[in-house]
């Protein structure tokens, strides 16, 4: 096991690599050259990546794919997607095309409020603390005025500050609960800077109170978007031997099951996040924040439930998602990472609200693809077809073998042992 190491972050990159490789690699030379293989050939671009985080040794690649034919609010988009799971981009493409010919996706922003809190304790009655808060409210706002001025020009700023009495939950515990608008920025730095300033004003107004911490919340139930597809049932078409009516009913049943059954809801929503995370990553947004917020939202009524919904009324099939998405199209990585810049350009340089609609549509499309496979052919057929190349790569197949196997498995079911056998047979008969 490695001994501990001091001052590591101050070492040069070469020193760091040497230490890690000497300490952990069974073949130091091979690992050193592996790490170098993944460096960007342009040194400025590599330096940019080095400086995103601390102790960068190399880059970690994920595929960057695209899903064309998304029609969202009447505009055609090609969605950038960063993801390693074989079938996700193919599924997005299939859904996008299916719904493009049925009117496309329609989105509505339901809210854009983001939240931050100053958590503090104060050893006085709730009535006295409320009076204290009302007395310093103007001062609190004055203190942050220089920080919010620029954001206000962009249409954002502080939307409200309220005092929350939490003394029933924890002795002496109160919050400043602050709602923010952050325009096209995700706004984490803006929100946290404002909160720290508010905390300072609070503390100067009453040096006896204790500020425990000041931080934004990734729970954003009022920063939400709805994306919807709909069509007359007959337009759904018959699928896999099911009539359009039976197909619609089965989709609705599957969505209803996810609504009432948490074990299914988690997997149902995981499929949605396949689409959401892939676009969130490609556009340089914080997928951990999105994940945390989305799952909290899915459990907001006390039971974890589906993010998508389905109705069949008066012959019309409707399928929609409501999801919290705190996204930015300026700041953060958006102007720095070359592929993020390109992703946003490909999307027509959207506003944060437009991006919310696009990302929600990606989630809905992904859920549509998963549920429609699940209620018809099952998921494995399409999934294993896409996974075939991974298995072949694992088995060291060359280009000619891959082409032969792809051809062979057009008419055979893909499973690991079957691929091993078919490849062995092919190699023996070559
Ligand atoms: C796999 O990544 C996602 C699915 O399991 C989603 C679902 O079951 O709805 C296919």
Q: Which of 92, 370, 375 to mutate to test the pocket of ligand 1 (most atoms within 8 A of CB)?
A: 370
| Pocket of ligand 1 contains residue 270 by CB under 6 Å | yes
Q: How far is the CA of 373 from the centre of ligand 1 (A)?
A: 10
End-to-end CA, the chain: 47
pLDDT for residue 217 is more than 70: yes
Alpha-carbon distance of 195 to 213, in angstroms, equals 9
Taking CA atoms only, the protein residue closest to ligand 1 atom 3 is: 271
Whether 319 and 368 have beta carbons less than 8 Å apart is answered as yes
Question: What is the distance between the alpha carbons of residues 155 and 121, in angstroms, rounded to a whole number?
Answer: 33
pLDDT digits (tens, 9 = 90+) for 228-242: 999 999 999 988 889
- The Cβ of residue 114 has, within 10 Å, a number of other Cβ atoms equal to 26
Nearest CA to 359 out of 255, 351, 116 is that of 351
Asked if residue 380 has its Cβ within 6 Å of ligand 1, the reply is no
Take atom 10 of ligand 1 and give the residue whose Cα is closest.
370
Which residue lies with its CA nearest to atom 1 of ligand 1? Answer: 271
In which residue are the tokens 């439930």 written? 305
Reading the block at residue 360, the tokens are 């929600």
pLDDT at position 1, please? 60
Q: Which of 95, 268, 384 to mutate to test the pocket of ligand 1 (most atoms within 8 A of CB)?
A: 268
Asked whether 370 lines ligand 1 (CB < 6 A), one says: yes
Decide if 227 contacts 107 (C-beta within 8 A): yes
Residue 47: other Cβ atoms inside 10 A: 12
The answer on pLDDT for 374 being more than 80 is yes
User: Does the pLDDT of residue 2 top 70, yes or no?
Assistant: no
Q: Is the CB of 85 under 6 A from ligand 1?
A: yes
Model confidence pLDDT, tens digit, residues 130-155 = 999 999 999 999 999 999 999 999 99
Phi–psi pair at 428, nearest 5 degrees? -70, -30
* pLDDT band, very low/low/confident/very high, at 382 (cuts 50, 70, 90): confident
pLDDT of residue 7: 96
pLDDT band at 303 (very low <50, low <70, confident <90, very high): very high
What pLDDT score does 323 carry?
Answer: 98
Six-digit token string for 231: 């069509």
Residue 86 has pLDDT above 80, yes or no: yes
Output the pLDDT for position 64. 98
Question: What was the pLDDT predicted at 111?
Answer: 98
In the predicted structure, residue 430 carries a pLDDT above the cut 90:
no
- Residue range 165-192: mean pLDDT, rounded: 97
Pocket lining: 382 vs ligand 1, CB cutoff 6 Å = no
- pLDDT-derived band at 3, boundaries 50, 70, 90: confident
* Catalytic positions: 85, 270, 286, 383
Q: Which two tokens stand for residue 82?
A: 């960063």
Residue 403: per-residue pLDDT: 94
Q: What is the pLDDT of residues 184-206, one digit of tens each?
A: 999 999 999 999 999 999 999 99
Token pair in block for residue 366: 């992904």
| Model confidence pLDDT, tens digit, residues 260-286 | 999 999 999 999 999 999 999 999 999
> Mean pLDDT for the chain?
96
The DSSP-derived string for 169-230 is: TSTTEEEEEEEEE-TTB--HHHHHHHHHHHHHHHHHH-TTSEEEEEEEES--TTSEEEEEEE
pTM, 2 dp: 0.93
Q: Ligand 1 within 6 A of 257 CB?
A: no
| C-alpha–C-alpha distance, residues 276 and 363, integer Å | 5
Reported as a single tens digit per residue, the pLDDT across 31-85 is 999 999 999 999 999 999 999 999 999 999 999 999 999 999 999 999 999 999 9
**Residue 427 pLDDT greater than 80, yes or no:** yes
User: What are the φ and ψ backbone dihedral angles of 324, each rounded to 5 degrees?
Assistant: -80, 130
Answer whether 179 contacts ligand 1 (Cβ < 6 A).
no
Ligand 1 nearest atom to the CA of residue 373, by list position: 10
Pocket test for ligand 1, best of 261, 379, 383, 384 (most atoms within 8 A of CB): 379
Position 196 scores a pLDDT of 98
């Amino acid at each position: 096991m490695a001994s501990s190491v001091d001052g590591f972050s101050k070492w040069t990159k070469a020193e760091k690599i040497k230490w890690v490789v000497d300490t952990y690699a069974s073949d130091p030379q091979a690992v050193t050259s592996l790490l170098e293989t993944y460096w960007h050939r342009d040194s400025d671009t590599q330096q940019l990546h080095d400086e995103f985080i601390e102790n960068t040794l190399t880059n970690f690649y994920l595929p960057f794919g695209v899903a064309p034919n998304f029609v969202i609010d009447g505009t055609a988009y090609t969605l950038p997607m960063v993801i390693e799971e074989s079938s996700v981009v193919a599924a997005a493409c299939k859904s996008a095309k299916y719904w493009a010919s049925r009117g496309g996706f329609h989105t509505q922003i339901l809210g854009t409020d983001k939240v931050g809190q100053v958590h503090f304790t104060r050893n006085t009655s709730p009535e006295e603390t409320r009076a204290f808060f009302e007395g310093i409210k103007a001062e609190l706002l004055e203190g942050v005025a220089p920080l919010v001025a620029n954001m206000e020009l962009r249409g954002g700023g502080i939307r409200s500050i309220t005092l929350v009495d939490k003394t029933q939950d924890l002795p002496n515990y109160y919050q400043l609960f602050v709602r923010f608008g952050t325009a096209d920025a995700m706004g984490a730095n803006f929100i946290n800077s404002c909160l720290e300033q508010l905390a300072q004003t609070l503390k100067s107004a009453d040096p006896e109170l204790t500020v425990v911490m000041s931080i934004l919340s990734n729970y954003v139930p009022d920063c939400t978007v709805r994306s919807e597809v709909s069509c007359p049932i007959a337009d759904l078409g018959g699928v896999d031997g099911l009539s359009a009516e039976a197909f619609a009913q089965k989709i609705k049943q599957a969505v209803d099951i996810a609504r009432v059954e948490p074990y299914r809801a988690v997997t149902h929503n995981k499929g949605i996040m396949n689409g959401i995370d892939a676009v969130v990553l490609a556009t340089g947004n914080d997928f951990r924040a999105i994940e945390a917020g989305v799952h909290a939202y899915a459990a907001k009524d006390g039971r974890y439930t589906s993010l998508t919904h389905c109705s069949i009324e008066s012959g019309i099939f409707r399928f929609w998602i409501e999801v919290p998405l705190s996204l930015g199209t300026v700041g953060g990585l958006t102007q720095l990472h070359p592929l993020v810049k390109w992703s946003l350009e490909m999307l027509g340089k959207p506003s944060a609200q437009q991006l919310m609609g696009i990302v929600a549509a990606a989630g809905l499309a992904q859920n549509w693809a998963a549920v429609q496979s699940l209620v018809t052919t099952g998921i494995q057929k399409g999934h294993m077809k896409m996974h075939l190349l991974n298995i072949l790569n694992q088995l060291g197949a060359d280009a000619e073998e891959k082409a032969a196997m792809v051809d062979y498995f057009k008419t055979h079911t893909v499973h690991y042992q079957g691929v091993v056998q078919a490849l062995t047979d092919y190699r023996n008969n070559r």
